[in-house]
Structure 1
Amino acid sequence: MTVDAHHHVWDLSVRDQDWLTGPELQPLRRNFTVEDLEPEAHAAGVTRTVLVQTVTVPEETPEFLALADAHDLIAGVVGWADLTRPDIAEELARLRELPGGTHLKGIRHQVQGEPDPEWLLRPDVHRGLAAVAEAGLVYDLIVRPHQLPAAVRAAESHPRLTFVLDHLGKPPIASGALDPWAGAVRSLAALPNTVCKLSGMVTEADPASWTADDLRPYADTVLDAFGPHRLMFGSDWPVCVLAASYEQVADTAGDLVKKLTDDERTAVFETTAVRVYGL
């Protein structure tokens, strides 16, 4: 059994995805539903998934919780809530009382789009992260390499909160450069309350010509830094379709961890996600 710890869905008739700009993202400017995902996930042996937020609007999280309530495939939701609101603790409690609220496993904010590289260290964000920890949820980090030092300090400040690094911290795979990304990732991995998703790599590589060997140095870095029991597979569907099919992403992830033991591969593809998200 495989858990896909990171995917999205959206319906453009419900709301626009305002980040889908430019010709390179045009293939994503259509609806992607759970019904679209199910046959691809099942063909790849995926039996459970984690649905992750896409936009910073309060209406999306209740919609995702309702989807999880209606579809056995979705075992958990990483939603969005405004960490800076004074009543963030009450808001998290409210979300968990909604239909499907038991599926709320984590919170994420689009930190990668924040102009302040130390957004995670703001006092109001610090208070919000403390509320996430108190609620027993995890926090997904969507950051770029230059924001990783602030992520390290935030994780140090909240030892009771598990921080999940999405997409390896978006390393510059297309350029082939490892540093300074690798050093920052190792600093984050040195903290016991951090986990990493083996996800989002194909779209950081050259979308037209990437190979598994292009991704391997980056996968090997996080495998060495976090270890397989703090690493989890995510497809990043449907964003991945810009560079690869769902099947290709899953097969490539398998290739990148083929030297691991059976137990270690099971951790990457199932048990880490089950443990971290409480699926």
Structure 2
Amino acid sequence: MRIDSHQHFWNYDPKRQEWISEEMSRIRKNFTPGDLYPLLQDAKLDGCVAVQADESLRETDFLLDLSAQHEWILGVVGWADLGKDDLDQVLDHYASQEKLVGFREVLQAKDPRYMLREEFVRGMHKLKERDFSYDLLLFPQHLDAALELVKKCPEQRMVIDHLAKPLIKDGEWKEWKKKMSPLAERELIYCKLSGIVTEADWKKWKTEDLLPYLEIVLELFGPERLMYGSDWPVCLLAGEYEQVYRVVDDFTSQLSPSEKDRIMGETAIEFYKI
């Protein structure tokens, strides 16, 4: 099975999506399953994983409702505040939702030490107890703290979204690789080939700009712990869905068929237990 491991849906609201600035006007509108499905079909993908874009339980419910209406939405990465005292009740509330595969918070918008708070680490252990995964949405400056978190939660499955957003536009990779390497040594840490075009120059990026970063994570994680994700519709800021898909599809064509299959779907199925 071939799947897109990372995309979003929303009914645009300027208050809820206040992160969408004026320069992002392309995505200041609704994005629904009806918009995505033809794109998945064109790319010969069987389904997707819908990931939270708003920090609220309402967002989790919204995505779960969509997944119930569309069988090809194979999993949902919802939101929960891991540091809250009522986390047990929240997780128990969602226990019957088979398509809820994991959780995410917008850690990139917070101080790196935020994820090392005692209550956050305790919440991560509660996810492990219930076999939920966790998506790490980070910038490179968060990677040191992420490694500390992983050491505190060594049995928790985590995936780094968007390669931790390296400074592709600036061509910087050495320090980013240095910080990614110890995370990649942990067998339960995965990485998504997603969100890279929006870290490049939106108007002038070329595939050649992205290849060094793809090659580095392939070296570090191997096909067994890499998964394709479009980051649609955010990717539309820098390119159409087909362009984003083609970058990863072409890149993985250098690999054996079984290795390509891992990146284009099997890794995500394994990680999210779809």
TM over 0.5: yes
| CA displacement at 1:255 relative to structure 2 | 1.6
Provide runs of 4+ in structure 1 moved above 6 Å: none
Which amino acid in the other structure matches residue 58 of structure 2?
A: E
- The one-character-per-residue Cα deviations of 1:223-264 (angstroms, maximum 9, x if unpaired) are 000000100000000000111111111111112222111110
Which amino acid in the other structure matches residue 83 of structure 2?
A: T
C-alpha distance in structure 1 between counterparts of 2:194 and 2:43, whole Å: 15
Contact 2:191 2:225 (C-alpha < 8 Å) held by counterparts: yes
Which amino acid in the other structure matches residue 107 of structure 1?
A: F
Counterpart position of 1:81: 80
Counterpart position of 2:98: 102
| CA displacement at 1:96 relative to structure 2 | 2.8
- The one-character-per-residue Cα deviations of 1:22-53 (angstroms, maximum 9, x if unpaired) are x2211111000011101111111111100000
RMSD: 1.2
- The one-character-per-residue Cα deviations of 1:158-200 (angstroms, maximum 9, x if unpaired) are 1221010000000000000102111111111011110000000
Contact 2:55 2:105 (C-alpha < 8 Å) held by counterparts: yes
Counterpart position of 1:252: 247
Counterpart position of 1:35: 34
Counterpart position of 1:266: 261
Which amino acid in the other structure matches residue 40 of structure 2?
A: A
Contact 1:240 1:246 (C-alpha < 8 Å) held by counterparts: yes
Counterpart position of 1:17: 17
When normalised by structure 2's length, the TM-score is: 0.97
| CA displacement at 1:140 relative to structure 2 | 0.2
- The one-character-per-residue Cα deviations of 1:57-112 (angstroms, maximum 9, x if unpaired) are 12110111111111012000000001111121221120233xxx110001000000
Contact 2:136 2:161 (C-alpha < 8 Å) held by counterparts: yes
Secondary structure of the equivalent of 1:105?
strand
User: Which one of 150, 155, 159 corresponds to residue 155 of structure 1?
Assistant: 150
C-alpha distance in structure 2 between counterparts of 1:13 and 1:86, whole Å: 29
Matched-pair identity in %: 39
Contact 2:16 2:54 (C-alpha < 8 Å) held by counterparts: no
C-alpha distance in structure 1 between counterparts of 2:259 and 2:126, whole Å: 32
Contact 1:156 1:191 (C-alpha < 8 Å) held by counterparts: no
Query: In the comparison of the two structures, how many residue pairs are matched?
Result: 274
Unaligned runs of 5+ in 2: none
Which amino acid in the other structure matches residue 118 of structure 1?
A: R
Unaligned runs of 5+ in 1: none
